[in-house]
Structure 1
Amino acid sequence: MSSPTATASSSLVAQGFHFTFSTEISVLDPGAAGNCSLHLVHVLPRDVYADPYELSQRPGYAASLNAPVDLELPVAAVAPADTILTLEVTAPPFRGAHAVSVDVPLHARYGAPAASQPGYHTIALPSPRAFWACPRPAGAPAALPAALAPFLPPGAYATSDVMLIPQASPEMHELRIPVGRLDDLAIVDVGTAGVMLLMFVYLATVSVRAARRLHARPATDSKKE
């Protein structure tokens, strides 16, 4: 069957460790969408993660990840593999020219310290791949488009005709996050050790004073008697 005419356009909203990847799908011939479902595939590099709980609270789509996500690890501690985030968009009925906006909250991991100024790390994020999955007559399973096959499990959408939606935005987007500098590590280590030492001295002093007050109280009470 022919694909409903549509285009997708994506952009990053805000910069830093917490940002939104926003995609707008413009459907030009909504009547052709029929019973087709609308999907997005985000390929997230190891520097970026999606919070499954946060995604579950978002209206407008159902989300699934191809692997568990640890929300606390820095980039140096995660496996060197991309994470695949798949969305099924719960689009309203298409009547006339229609646009669907899909906002995906994402987070950047703390990066490795930089050896040079100015202490920033640039992350390259590909535009999501948008596609239709439309019912097809019974028969041999249809092959997935080459641009989607590496990111979807074998047999996915076997009973559907899968058709890519052209992406009007650039193929890659850049996200800049601040990182520590190797030149500052010695200062940070000394400062951390100094703070820990001061806290230890403070706690020890408070403990000694409290112990002295506790031991002095019975003697004072006995003199009053």
Structure 2
Amino acid sequence: MTSPRQHPGTVASSVDDNVGFHFTHDTTLTWRRPPGCHALHVDYILPPDVFADPYELDLRADDYTYTIDAYPDLERPVSAVEQRNTRLRLDVKLPSDVEHAEGVTEVALPLHGRYGLPSSRPRGEAYAVAYVPPPQAFWECGKGQDIFTIPLASAPSAKDVPLVIPIGLSDDLAFVQTGTALTVLAVFCYMAFVFSKVHNRLGIRLYQSKRE
């Protein structure tokens, strides 16, 4: 259950550069540790267009650990994934010293945008917008069956963060497909050339060894 006590801290979030495929979602936690509370969590809801790379999250183990309700397929476009939100929870690492009863902690969450379906819109309008809701932060307190939570107050200006993700143009598909086919053909020809050279050298060596 949730305790009715006064909010012991605030949470605010932002994204400095919200255009592209790679983003950093910054969360500022201004906290005061209540008595009996042992963990500070931050919950995020990510739309299908956006995912957090578990490998990158592992690299931030000094700052937080994480749990996620569904591990993302990193290579699939948005059209090939299940159209459902992903829930991500960060367990923020705070000073264990009892003297550090309050502080300010910055949490950086790396996010990535998925490739969308090609669009027939003008080039300057070829993008998709994914909205990431403000994260919710709370203390986990108590032990055993007496565990309860105390939420941090969200900033009054908190609102969904729009992430602008570029998408391809339908008119460019023909060029992309042609370029891909030519690249594959060039690689095949190069491999055939290398194989032929190796085969000839082996044949010459085999012939020379038989003569000796």
Does the pair score TM above 0.5? Answer: yes
What corresponds to 2:59 in structure 1? 57
Percent identical among aligned pairs is 37
1:79 aligns with 2:82: yes
Could you tell me whether the CA contact under 8 Å between 1:74 and 1:110 is conserved in 2? yes
The structure 1 residue matched to 2:23, chosen from 19, 24, 28, is: 19
Counterpart of 2:120?
115
Unaligned residue ranges in structure 1 (runs of 5+): 139-157
- The answer to whether 1:100 aligns with 2:105 is yes
Q: Structure 1 length normalisation: TM-score? A: 0.75
Query: CA-atom RMSD, angstroms?
Result: 3.0
Distance 2:207 2:114 in 1: 58
SS of match in other structure, 1:206: helix
Structure number with greater CO (CA < 8 Å, separation at least 6) is 2
Between stretches 159-168 and 15-24, larger displacement belongs to 159-168
Cα distance 1:169–1:212, how it changes in 2: closer, same or farther (>3 A)? same
Residue of structure 1 in register with 2:71 after alignment: 68
Indicate yes or no: 2:11 matched with 1:8. Answer: yes
Q: 1:211 to 1:61 in 2, by over 3 A?
A: closer
Task: Find the partner of 1:195 among 183, 186, 190.
Answer: 183
Determine if contact 1:3/1:132 at 8 Å carries over to the other structure.
no
TM-score relative to the length of structure 2: 0.78
Gaps spanning 5+ residues in structure 2: where?
Answer: none
Q: 1:20 to 1:215 in 2, by over 3 A?
A: same
The worse-fitting range, judged by mean Cα deviation, of 180-189 and 70-79 is 70-79
Q: For 2:82 and 2:66, locate their aligned partners in 1 and report how far apart those are by CA, in whole Å.
A: 22
Residues 125 and 172 in structure 1, CA contact (< 8 A), matched pair in contact too: yes
Structure 1 residue matching 2:84: 3-state secondary structure = coil
Distance in 2, Cα, partners of 1:55 & 1:173: 20
What is the aligned length?
A: 202
Task: Report the CA distance shift for 1:135/1:165 in structure 2 as closer, same or farther (over 3 A).
Answer: farther
Larger Rg over CA atoms: 1
| Conservation of the 8 A alpha-carbon contact between 1:127 and 1:169 | no
Q: Give the superposition deviation at 1:127.
A: 1.2
